[in-house]
Amino acid sequence: MSSPLKIALGAVVGLVGGSTVAGLVAGFLSYVSVRKQEHQSRTSWPMVDVVVAARDLAPGSVLGENALSARSVPEAMVTASIVTPEKAAYIAHQRLEVPLRAGDPMAWTFFETAYVAPEESDVAAACSAAIDSAPNGPKRERSSADIRARIASGRRP
């Protein structure tokens, strides 16, 4: 004849044991399942390392060391227009001409050097400063939303 105390104790032992075993099994299965999901997502997109904006960058900013980062992106996004990590030194300290979001790949055409000769960068900087300080001078578009709004409103570049 079992006492009520032994029955209660047995229930507690069963509860703890069952929870522990189930927790371990569930944890293992969850880990495997999530990793499998992650692997499936990644392998369906071959990845390539490129140089990206480390943070949101405004047009006109000069890229310091902390402005650039490397990131793996789908190969489908990468053409010769995109800067790869081994060529990152070429764009360091260059003046950006377009707005970028953190993580956006850097393209060679995004920089002032795309239309200003390197030996004239000082002249370009002086002209930019003068234009920025002119009250009616053309202003830089600060975000993609600005560009979209202008195009949508019918004002073409």
Partner 1 sequence: MKAVLVSIVSGGLVGVLAVTLFAVPALSEKKDVVRAGWTPRQVLVVTRDVSQGESLSADMFKQSDLPEQFTSDSFVPADDQAIVVGTKVSLPLMAGDVLSWSAFIDQARRAAVTECIGHIRQGVTEAGARAEADALARFQQQLKKLPSPPALHSPTSTEGHVLIVVAGADIREGALLSEEQLAGRRVPKELVTRSHVRATDLAALVGARLLVPLQAGDPLMWQVLDDPDAPQSSLGCVNEIKKAREEARARSSSEAATAFLGATGTP
Binding residues for partner 1 restricted to 40-59, rule: CB under 8 A: 41-42, 44-45, 59
Instruction: Give the separation between CA 12 and CA 14, rounded to whole angstroms.
Output: 5
* 112 contacts: CB under 8 Å, gap ≥ 6: 94, 95, 96, 97, 121, 124
User: Quick check: 114 binds partner 1 (CB under 8 A)?
Assistant: yes
Q: Pick from 14, 55, 90, 93: which binds partner 1 (CB under 8 A)? A: 14
Minimum distance from residue 116 beta carbon to partner 1 (Å) = 7
Instruction: Give the separation between CA 39 and CA 45, rounded to whole angstroms.
Output: 10
Binding residues for partner 1 restricted to 73-112, rule: CB under 8 A: 73-74, 76-77, 79-81, 97-104, 107, 109-110
Of 64, 41, 45, which Cα lies nearest the Cα of 53?
Answer: 64
Q: Pick from 7, 62, 70, 92: which binds partner 1 (CB under 8 A)? A: 7
